[in-house]
Each structure stands twice: as structure tokens, then as C-alpha cells.
Amino acid sequence: MNLRSPNTRLSDIPTPENQLVMNDAWDTEAISELIRSKCDHDETPAFLFLGQKEAGLLTEHLAQVFGEDAVVTLHDTYYMGLDVIVLETENHISTGGRKAVRTLQDPIARRPAWRDADTSAQWQFRM
């Protein structure tokens, strides 16, 4: 059997590239700009990957906005439309994945073109 400790780090797995560095406070504008820079052809990133330090900064930021009791954990948290994933690294911020941007369509615009009832009836009888 191959048994491996769950905390064993594999050296051949590449570390994702850090796309942003934060100092001592959560920077909403920097995150927004990072997300905008990754949007392309009606697709946006799906995930926001954070290191332990950045996860703490986000938790503090959300606690200030929504209250201490509202932010117990970042599990199943969405921030600016991205699913927050906390990594086991000390410092890290990156985005990943892709989701398509769905635009609202007018149901009337999807209707077939209007046809003249008389002409349509003639074609139906001739077939």
C-alpha cells in the first residue's frame, strides 16, 4: 500500500505564480484591477486563491464591513464573484479557472421572424 501523510508536500508540483502582493491591509481596488486584467473574451476568472496572510486580511476586511460574527471562516465564500480558495502557503494571491459571462437576452429577440399568415398558409397547403 502507498500511504502518505496528508501534510506531505510534493516537490514536483509547481507553485502557482503570485499575481499580487499586499502589505498590511486588504486592497479592494487592487483585487478588482487584478480580476479585470484577467477577463478576456466574455470570460472571467472563477477562483481567488489566497495565502494564509491574505486570507487573514480578507477576513478582517469582511469583519469590518459585515461584523465579527458574519465571518467565521472563508469556506464557501465568494468575493467579487470569485470563489475564495485558501492555500497552505504563507503569502499568495492569484486568480484561476474560467467562467463564461452570461448576458441577458431579450426573449422577444429569440423569436423567429414574423411571417405573413396568408403566405405561410399557402405553403402549408401545397406541401
pLDDT, tens digit (0-9, with 9 covering 90-100), for 4-13: 555 555 555 5
How far apart are the C-alpha atoms of 34 and 19, rounded to whole Å?
8
Higher confidence at residue 121 or residue 67?
67
Q: Where are the alpha helices (DSSP H) in 39-88?
A: 52-66
The 10s digit of each residue's pLDDT in 23-81 is: 889 999 999 999 999 888 778 899 999 999 999 999 999 999 998 888 888 888 999 99
What pTM does this model have?
Answer: 0.67
Per the structure block, which three cell numbers stand in for 13? 508540483
- Can you say how many angstroms the Cα of residue 44 is from the centroid of all Cα atoms in its chain? 7
